[in-house]
A and B are shown apart, each in its own frame.
Chain A
């Protein structure tokens, strides 16, 4: 009786989600795999010709695609480190028992509530106008110039904006983790004479491992799939120096009208993201400890 009721509940809650997931993710994904084997310009009236694996062969010869892959890797690595370090530092800061910690917590989280597109436009203004202004006023023109015009610095600019957006979010997750650590454990360590560094590395970080798993996963997949900030901040420029994976695929499909090739790129993109994030989760999961 009881178990049948449970199944009823189970179905009630999972069916809508399963239905939505199937119709908006699973089925389009399968259709997408199909498109990656044809050559098509995206206009329904025009013919789709089957080309087998040609698209997949072609994309590895596409220099711009490979370049965008390299940009994405650079961006992801930088973003992964900076977002998590700053998220963790902010979390430690606001859990240290300062009087303003509640207000600070809200403020750090706020940028995450602004959409990536808008953030991109705001920062575009900061990098182009304000940076230049500061540079002219202070004479530090080798630091404060228009970052978006320099291929290297444009990438750093994207990392900064992404960090601005994501650090607050990871901070919340780290705060939850830190608050989950019992106070008596820390106090006992203090009584035993452990200093801050020891307390952090021997007690806090190991017990924070589940938070690390979640945060690293979120930033890794988020940074890899970045598109909105890319579009609004740099549009992939200057000279395609900040064109990320997702943007390259978008351009291939919509700017060049190569639906098949773009779809093949998207499939490869999916595989890379899946492999990377699964490996990361597997590695960090292994290091999680139980109290």
Chain B
């Protein structure tokens, strides 16, 4: 059974704007093969099931319908691990400038 989400919860919906056959004539072949997708967040206006049809009220006050795909969606972007190719640049440049290298003390 799908999860029932209450009205008023902050969610994300997904919809297809243009199907693969409806894409603009100038798009390259790889893009023409796939649909143009849309994702918008808002507050659920009626209770709905995850994966089912739902209506939201967006931050601009618009009512939009689509498939309910996420509840209280996370911001997942971050920094990730340090990049070794960048890690030593500062040390190299300070050496060039003749500054004392802290790690050499």
The judgment on whether A and B are partners is no
